[in-house]
Amino acid sequence: MGVRNIKLTISYDGVDYSGWQYQPGKHTIQGELQKAISELTGFLTKVNGASRTDAGVSAAGQVANIIINSPIPIKNLTKAINHRLPRDIVVIEAVEVDKDFDSSSSAKSKLYRYRIFTGKNRNVLQNRNSWHRPGSLDCGTMDAAAKMLVGTHDFKSFAAAADKRETSVRTVTRCDVACEDKWIYVDIEADRFLYNMVRNIVGTLVEIGRGRWKPEKIKEILEAKDRTAAGPIAPPEGLCLIKIDY
């Protein structure tokens, strides 16, 4: 059958993991996938992920690609891999792609959703994958502020201090805040993201929603290009990578 490049779409509950990226001695999503696929193929197989999600962050549509030389038919691959994975990680789809496809560099945009529960008591059935922040937040004010982030900007103020990438300019194509009963959903789509960018944006929007700042504060924060100008970081468990477009 020869060498094949396989694109995997993966879903996982990341709360109990130290993030996507393999780290010796730590429980990671990439580590579990590589162990399962290497066991299946009989060869050490690197899983190249599109997004290195942080510790505690989940995914509904993470994408990765693997290069394998195995006779296993593509239609049987997902079942064979899933049989070897823990219950909180699942490969949704496996498709053969062109040899030049790279899950990271070929990506055009990524969509993240952050979930906040504002009820007085914890929602125990969904608590693992949301931020329980009791108290009212002004959803309309948060959405107005979010819209100011749409476009091409320098997002240095929303990047972790440890992020040393060459440029902090990113293009956000969508930033919406929606409310449903006691739930608040923040959806952010961009060409690329900086380290902790979404969680720092959410933390800032919450400060606006609780009345500490006006929506116009967003412009001031962007112009500052200084992490200390923005709000606190939101917890990781509320964040989910929804999809990646190519």
Mean pLDDT estimate for the chain? 96
CATH number at residue 186: 3.30.70.660
Phi, psi of 200 (to 5 degrees): -70, -35
The secondary structure of residue 21, as a DSSP letter, is: S
Percent of the chain past pLDDT 70, that is, above it, reads 100
CATH number for the domain including 52?
3.30.70.580
- 1: confidence class by pLDDT, cuts 50, 70, 90: low
Is 103 among the domain residues?
Answer: no
What predicted TM-score, i.e. pTM, was given to this entire model? 0.94
- C-alpha separations of 149 from 54, 115, 167 in Å: 22, 19, 17
Distance CA 233, CA 226 (A): 14
Residues 72 and 193 in one domain: no
Q: Does the annotation mark 54 as catalytic?
A: yes
> Residues 31-61: pLDDT tens digits?
999 999 999 999 999 999 999 999 999 999 9
pLDDT at 36: 97
Q: Which domain holds residue 27?
A: 4-97
The answer to whether residue 76 scores a pLDDT higher than 80 is: yes
Answer yes or no: do 15 and 68 share one domain: yes
pLDDT tens for 179-232 read: 999 999 999 999 999 999 999 999 999 999 999 999 999 999 999 999 999 999
Interval 103-131 mean pLDDT: 95
The yes-or-no verdict on residue 166 having pLDDT over 70 is yes
Catalytic residue among 54, 102, 154, 245: 54
Question: Are 77 and 187 found together in one domain?
Answer: no
pLDDT at 232: 97
Q: State whether 183 and 218 are in the same domain.
A: yes
Note whether 82 and 167 are same-domain residues.
no
Backbone angles phi, psi at 176, to 5 degrees: -125, 145
Provide the b/e sequence for 63-76 (b: ≥16 CB within 10 Å). bbbbebebebeeee
Residue 175 carries which side chain, given as an amino acid letter? C
Q: Which domain-ending residue is among 63, 97, 131?
A: 97
Q: State both tokens at 171.
A: 């293009």
**pLDDT of 163 strictly over 90:** no
Residues 226 and 121 in one domain: yes
Structure tokens at 59: 């995914």
Same domain? For 25 and 119 the reply is no
Q: Is 8 left (phi over 0), alpha (psi -120 to 50) or beta?
A: beta
Number of domains comprising the chain: 2
In a domain, 102, yes or no: no
Beta-bridge mates of residue 175: 188
Could you tell me the CA-to-CA distances from 21 to 77, 103, 136, 193 in Å, in that order?
22, 14, 36, 16
Q: Percent of the chain beyond pLDDT 90?
A: 93
Instruction: Give the model's confidence band at 128: pLDDT under 50 very low, under 70 low, under 90 confident, else very high.
Output: very high
| Inter-residue contact 112 to 187 (CB < 8 Å) | yes
